[in-house]
Structure 1
Amino acid sequence: MSRGLPVPGSPAQGPPASRGRRVYVGCAGWSIPKSLSASFPAEGSHLQRYAARLSAVEINSSFYRLHRPQTYARWAATTPPDFRFAVKMPRAITHYGRLQDLTVLPEFLAGPRELSEKLGPLLVQLPPSLVFARDVAERFFTALREQFAGRIACEPRHASWFGTEAEILLRRFRVARVAADPPPVPQAAVPGGWEEWTYYRLHGSPRLYYSSYADEALESLARRLQQDAKDKSEVWCIFNNTAAGAAHENALSLLARLERQDRD
């Protein structure tokens, strides 16, 4: 199958392996490192070139600032039909507001809605210092669910979020708990919460955001994702080791391993 090259202003053709697949592989951001430029098509924007090879991306810039709805609409219009976007919730809600100040929530949600069918999960990453408080979490997820019915992934980083009470609450609100590497606590290494689908975030280990994953780790991860895909509606795997360009290389390598496993 010929991939073709993306044409600016029109949707690109996506990676063949992503078509019909329930496993989405991508990075936290689509800016392509110069060292990997030859691994992507030569023409088009960074997003168009990225989307020609990988099936999903996690928008992290939304954590720092709100994007206009027109921006999300443009991203949707210039990517393949089965490409998907995960969108990180603003720090104004998760870090500064600590799940209690939801003033910007309606304005934030207006953007991702423009992605339409290309919208994947919302990512709620919590600060390491945020202790689980049932009343606060319940009010937050109630408000979020009143305005958003789609997939939600939560990445807690305080040990108190890994107890039974938090697990029950996440399941009640249909929120998947992220499986993170390196895990802040042992339980964080595996998915939790709502288990109808899974979301993996790989931050680089041993050096956070920098380290590349070895072949053995990627091979093991590929088997794990394929196993999850047998009984989950969707499986997401996002590489966040972007500081030195390892994320894109790891994502491409993982995708190749998944393709080989599909053929075997």
Structure 2
Amino acid sequence: MDNLREMLLSIVNNMAKETYRSIVLDILNNPTLTFTSTKPLIQLGESPAAPRKHHFFSGGLLLHTLSVALIARSIAKIFENLYGVDVDEDLVVSAAILHDIFKYYQYAVDDASGGYKPRDDWYLSHDYAIVAELSRRNAPDALIRVVSEAHGIAPFSTIEGLIVHLADSIDARFGEYLQNILLSKLKEIEKEGCNIYKILNELIKRDGLRNVVQEAQKSGLTQKAIAVCKEGADK
């Protein structure tokens, strides 16, 4: 998933406003909660966005983050061009990239399913964690506000908060829709004793979601999944 991180960094480096660019780069380069001694149990790059929900697979969090940033930027341009509203695109993209960044603190590897699960010893939801961390790192108040609005912690008072909220909802729903289609295509191999969540996660780790989707569209996914399942059984 290094390419996803590089794509995110490319977006950030092209921001015009140093105030937002610097704080986003600071967190991407050091995605650590500095107000707690608790350490994450998995790496940011391997984290799902939401186990058994949307983007449940390894690398799902970064993919969701990138998609939300791109969707939010597109919505901002549409609102600007069609409705004539002023939108701070750098603020939109910054909030989109950071809104879920500390979700990986919430998860641990689930050895039983081969995926991920909520960890038992963590006490702070990611939406509050990012607000606390932004405050600790002296982020601009506008960014803290927009991230809070995107998560519903604060009522909408900015167009930027609404845009990030909409982009997040769009990608979460589409991600869940897409993976449900993929899981339905693998349903028949459950009778072979295959864990389809584990198999799909492994296929995405190996080939990337884009390639897995294309394989499914060509009707070649099932045979590939069976082969991966047999590999696991032979180990």
Relative to the length of structure 1, the TM-score reads 0.23
Say which structure is richer in strand.
Answer: 1
Q: Which has the larger radius of gyration?
A: 2
